[in-house]
Amino acid sequence: MYRIGDKTNMIVKTITIKNPHGLHARPAAELSKLSGTFESDIKLSKDGIDVNAKSVMGVMMLAAEYGSSIVIQISGSDENEAMDALIQLNENLFNEQI
């Protein structure tokens, strides 16, 4: 994780999607639901596409398959907790039984 400049007060981390089925509808919903529990602004980026992580449709637009890289950008009062939770969700394969 690193912080972009002093003015933006944002943390950024690149993760690799670990779910063998990628970030399809159900994992996208899990990610959006979890993101919605935080006050911080959470953005995801892949291949030049930036989306609001709190939008299921936005997350699905990324078409993130297994092994793809996603950049998480978070800014807000609970940004560290949000980043930790999203990283853990990816590590847990978005709570799917694989």
Residue numbers annotated as active site: 24
89 and 26 Cβ atoms separated by less than 8 Å = no
DSSP structure string for the chain: -EE-HHHH--EEEEEE---TT-S-HHHHHHHHHHHTTSSSEEEEEETTEEEETT-HHHHHHT---TT-EEEEEEESTTHHHHHHHHHHHHHTGGG---
